[in-house]
Structure 1
Amino acid sequence: MTNPTTPAPDARPRGLTDVVVACFVGCLLIANVAATKLIELGPEFSVGGVQVLPLITDGGALLFPLTYILGDVLAEVYGLRRARRTIVLGFALSLLMSATFLVVGAAPPGSDWPLQDAWVSVLGFVPRIVLASLLAYLVGQLLNAWVLVVIKRRTGERRLWMRLLASTVVGEFVDTVIFCTIAFGPLGAWLGGGSIPLPALLNYIVVGFVYKVAVEALLLPLTYRVIAGVKRVEARAASAG
């Protein structure tokens, strides 16, 4: 006889917490791998010894801003504790990914497999990217969530645009500086893979910061809708529970 208090095996989960967390962690892991490739856009051009072009970024820039948008959703809808828990989960899985790549890279390749050097040269660089991402996120994402929550305590539900942009500016600036200087700068050179010249590094930091903030600013209307939609779903789930 079925216990009436036990949910049916095929009952749908209420709320969107699992979807938001999965998207956040998935974007983080994909961005960590994609960030191993540096991308240069434009011809060479300098002013007073300062490199203006080419613009330097990395493959992780395609998805990285989405992690901050999803981080905003987590902090705005679920609060600082849930956001912090998700960030820690993403870090743990990034470490697992990095450790797996290291073990697989160190394992003896098959005698007929010609891609060992190529595999190690790309994925073997990921641990340095992951370390940079972990340290950057530890400060950047938590600052992003903290600033958003602090402003929300003072403004209530009003001025969502202000807390989204303010938290992004603070979090992305710290995140970008830490990540760039470790992933491709002198702070991470001792991990292997070398570093890019200082003018290129400064270009990389400025371009990365401006790009990430600009993307979130442009996607602000979409972020508004996502936050509102998630809040509606969670409100219905709470009333149904």
Structure 2
Amino acid sequence: MTELPPDPATAKPRSGNYDLIVVLFCGLLLISNIGATKLIQFGPIITDGGAILFPMTYILGDVLSEVYGFKRAKRAILMGFGLSVLASLTFYLVQIAPAADAYENQAAFEAVLGFVPRIVLASILGYLAGQLLNAYVLVKIKERTQERKLWLRLIGSTVVGELADTLVFCTVAFYGVITGGEFVSYVVTGYVYKVLIEVVFLPVTYPVIALVKRHEPNYVPGAAVRV
């Protein structure tokens, strides 16, 4: 009988769901950054398109911090930062590249995906400030509460992280474009909405975190969470 050749060498994939959560986290971030280029208004309420999905990145950020600790959460946050920068640079290069004669949407492309330094800077600064603070606060609270009072960690970290993110992004991106009471309404509405999303999704976040913990063979309650 002819012996079959050995299988080619391959690396064994890591167990657990860390990679999947990071992919979802970065994907939602990129989609939200594109959506944030449009201001939307419902009566007197003004916000941006990023508000639709961006709060979900904080929920996934909570999962990362709660289950994997600050260092691995920070790694995911920095990966999202790198992809955001790459996306912005790519859109900029596409924007300045000569359009084909048959392409009639150059102005539309520039209006939606064009490189706007102020928006890009606001997005990057707000994202880093908010997500890093969110992860830091959650982990510091967990050092004291261990596996108890998950609701306190989730809400407390979001209150701090979303405040930093909203203030930085709204101020850098739209201060002067939106002024007076409209600007205050924009900031407050965006902040309250994002925090409420976290509260509303608590019944979903709880079982998701429990599920991820059960499927992480190396998870040790109360371990490896220190900053």
- What TM-score, normalized to structure 2? 0.89
In 2: Cα distance, 1:7 partner to 1:150 partner: 42
Which residue is 2:63 aligned to? 73
User: 1:60-209, aligned counterparts within 5 Å?
Assistant: 60-125=50-115, 127-186=117-176, 195-209=177-191
In 2: Cα distance, 1:16 partner to 1:229 partner: 10
Please tell me whether the aligned partners of residues 92 and 115 of structure 2 are also in contact (alpha carbons under 8 angstroms).
no
Number of aligned positions between the proteins: 216
Q: What is the percentage of aligned positions where both structures have the same residue? A: 56
CA displacement at 1:129 relative to structure 2:
2.8
Aligned CA RMSD, in angstroms, stands at 2.1
Amino acid at match of 2:153: R
Which residue is 2:198 aligned to? 216
**Would the alpha carbon gap of residues 102 and 164 (structure 1) be closer, same or farther in structure 2, given more than 3 Å must change?**
same
Which residue is 1:35 aligned to? 36
User: With CA pairs under 8 Å and 6+ residues apart, which has the higher RCO, 1 or 2?
Assistant: 2
| Structure 1 residue ranges without an equivalent (≥5) | 43-53, 187-194
Higher strand fraction (1 or 2): 1
Q: String of CA shifts for 1:58-83, please: whole Å, max 9, x gaps.
A: 11111000000000000000000001
**Would the alpha carbon gap of residues 100 and 8 (structure 1) be closer, same or farther in structure 2, given more than 3 Å must change?**
closer
Which residue is 1:46 aligned to? none
Q: String of CA shifts for 1:74-113, please: whole Å, max 9, x gaps.
A: 0000000001011111000100000011111001111121
Please tell me whether the aligned partners of residues 25 and 60 of structure 2 are also in contact (alpha carbons under 8 angstroms).
yes
Q: String of CA shifts for 1:122-161, please: whole Å, max 9, x gaps.
A: 1115553332121112211111111100110011100000
| Structure 2 residue ranges without an equivalent (≥5) | 221-227
Over 6 Å off, 4+ runs: 6-9
In 2: Cα distance, 1:24 partner to 1:139 partner: 16
Corresponding residue SS for 1:102: helix
